[in-house]
Structure 1
Amino acid sequence: MQNDIIDMIEPTPKLHSKKCKLISYVIWLFLKFTTYIVTILSWYLYDYFIAFLTLILSFIVMGIIRSKLRNIAIPQKQQEYQYNDKGIADWYTARELCYDEANKKIERI
């Protein structure tokens, strides 16, 4: 009989400093609204057809960027779970950009 151990899921990290929260918020805005902003801008500058193709292309490019951030920041065992843009931004900010702050919090405890 095989005993499989199921690892507990790590919760999404909490950001404590205002700098880290701001960075996470900017990344979230970028992931959430870049596709729409680029499409509306191309529609305003060019044509409906160009805007539609830009929508498709920006959707693909933002999906690639989102998956790269997700694969870099989220632990390997938790990548099977679905994360929204805010969760990906929080993980990326906590693991890659504000890593020193997270270690200082742990050392104080």
Structure 2
Amino acid sequence: MSKNYLNLLGLAVRAGQCTFGEEAIVRDVQRQNAKLVIAASDIGPQTLKKLRNKTDFYNIAFLQVEEDREQLSQAVGKSGRVAIAVLDKGFADKLKSLLTESTRR
């Protein structure tokens, strides 16, 4: 599987277009600022349920990736990150296309 999306995710973080932390992500989803929420494979079940419910209710894209929290954290340069909200539509669209392309292979 191609990990190009991890590089793009790191770029989005450096551009200041991402939010971290459950409360901040939920706030951005409710305000319709988030365009995509990405969750690590080892996210806790309660956090996963909360984020899924919020993104479903507010019609925000949600993707759970194969990578665990360590790989996701390394890509964004911050430790212990299990979920990331992408705020920019351009970054979100490209990340979605890269992630769906890699699952079709």
- The answer to whether the superposition gives a TM-score over 0.5 is no
Higher relative contact order (CA 8 A, sep 6+): 2
Larger radius of gyration: 1
- Between structures 1 and 2, the one with greater strand share: 2
TM-score, normalisation: structure 1 = 0.29
